[in-house]
Amino acid sequence: MSATHRIIAASLALLAPADAIAADGPPDGSTPEQKAAIAKDPAFRQQDLVLTNLPRNKEAPRKLFNGRDLAGWDSWLGVTVPATTYGTPSSAPIGLNHDTYGVFKVVEQDGAPAIYSSGKLFGGLLTKQAHRNYHLHVEYKWGANTWTPMPRNNGVLYHSHGAYGAFFGTWMSGVEFEVVPHSVGMLLTVGDSKGKQSFETVDWRVGATVPVAHDSSIPYPSRRYFHGGLLSQLTFPTWNVEAGTDAERPLGEWNSLDLYVFGDKSIHVVNGVPVMAASNLTTRDAKARTIPLTAGKIQLQSEGAETYFRAITIEPIRHLPTIAERKAR
């Protein structure tokens, strides 16, 4: 799941047998409708962005990871053979708090406690509580091992809501702060597959509006976050926006992620660099009415590659920081 179109396509092509793949894979820009959806996007140029007007708190941030165990978290695991997640599932989902495989556990890494996400099975570690109007800080580092032909892949999902495993039996619906090499901070909307293995029948219940520009160097929909760009609503087939810049550190080093959410808006920050801003976050209720999406659980993923998470803290905020473009001298 939670990957870019190219990574989902890779998982379909490389992981699942051909006869198990749904005929209607992720959009590739080949149809007139898909081309029309991005026809008005302006050209992308690199921006030097900074955060200003940071929210301040007198109290120290609260730890979501106590450094000893996974108290305050639930686990949800998908099918027993991840390669069949998007094709014909090998089994029913393993489900809630049945991690007998050690997919998520506390380990010591670089002399400090960390949450280990093995990646061998697909799933998520979710906060028991929902959160709103906060600054989340997470540090992550890739492990040595990958278990699929896909590129390394992980993510932090926020405003997660609805049923466990709604998206292809594996993740809860929400908004994703993507963690993929060279794409850290990408924004994805994660819907509800309604138990069907087809991208065409997914209920893309989560929406967002992002200022974008066209970058032909990346796959369809070829959109990057662009401060001051064309405000675009993420709806299928254009349901992801690439990070504005690649701010990730070299493989094997720790990276810091900062997520600011206030009301129906969010900002993704990678190693101090703002790489994404979204507004008008929405979902649909039981009567299919579109409503603001302002709160939800936080999910740490397991998706094919070893990942370590540490220093996970959260603090309330009363406003979002401001993103500004630093002018060249």
Domains and CATH numbers, the chain: 5-325 (2.60.120.560)
Q: What is the pLDDT of residue 43?
A: 98
Q: What is the pLDDT of residue 98?
A: 97
Distance between CA atoms of 214 and 68, rounded to whole angstroms? 45
Q: Choose the weakest-confidence range: 137-141, 194-198, 280-284.
A: 194-198
Give the confidence band of 151 by pLDDT, cuts at 50, 70, 90.
Answer: confident
- Single out the residue of 329, 318, 308, 323 nearest to residue 139, CA to CA: 308
Q: Is residue 305 within 8 Å of 146, Cβ to Cβ?
A: yes
Q: Is residue 3 within 8 Å of 190, Cβ to Cβ?
A: no
pLDDT at 195 over 80: no
Tokens describing residue 257: 């992620």
Distance between CA atoms of 29 and 41, rounded to whole angstroms? 14
Q: To the nearest whole percent, how much of the chain has pLDDT over 70?
A: 91
Question: CB within 8 A of 165, min separation 6: which ones?
Answer: 76, 78, 93, 95, 171, 172
- For the chain, the average pLDDT equals 91
